Structure 1
């Protein structure tokens, strides 16, 4: 089994974010051949095209980290039926300046959790459109819309028994997606 490194981008800055909890739980579920690199997007300045030729150090670090990874896992909440501004800001920085798109050809997947019964469906749909424009082959099926309910996370912060097998199957599908599509 080949080794792979996956960048994890959480679209929430909130310390107690359900999506951050989900990211931490997913990292714990990884098989031995998969490592995760959590990418900090909270310290990025607001994107301004005037800065393209002199990107800030946090932007350069994010782009270098993305280049080192085989794939990207986006874990996002839904804000006002779309993606959070901080996530869009990171995507814009990573794609610029023209011709230096760090996201290009990186296999991706999207997951999110929300108290809503439809999870993060609309945010994920919007994000898919952005990722297509960034030339990221994105896992489309199965989609993963998770509802935050009591017992979703156990007392240790791991994904509860009722959802663990379901999410593990999705992660296995994502790892296969990355293996099949990396470097294309």
Structure 2
């Protein structure tokens, strides 16, 4: 059985800024109104014969979406970006089109993510792992076969990843 949550209608949304370092047009600070779609395949189990309670999945996704909301999302592991945290500020520098760009942001406005890039593709995989870990902590992963997560940067464009559990 497959269950599905639509991020727009299910309230699985957040707004954030990011930089796709090295990209010609996306290599500058810009933002999106993201929404997350989730599909799970698994066995129906328990008292109510659910694959998984929708409220549980929403709670797990919203936990991460709320952390990201109204933040600058910064990839911690990008090989060409130098970072330094000093006096509650994040200092960042990298070369964009041959020019050295330097930024300074209050740490409270930034969320460092354990990723090489903050593309929709990488964030889709990150959300999938977050859902998997959340279900596992609740003891609900045993009946799940796969998790499909789509991170949309707006209507009509997004990245989908599939995480095989069994």
Which category describes the TM-score, using the shorter chain as reference length?
A: under 0.3
Give the structure with the larger helix fraction: 1
More strand by share: 2
Q: Which of the pair has more CA radius of gyration?
A: 2
TM-score, normalization by structure 2: 0.25
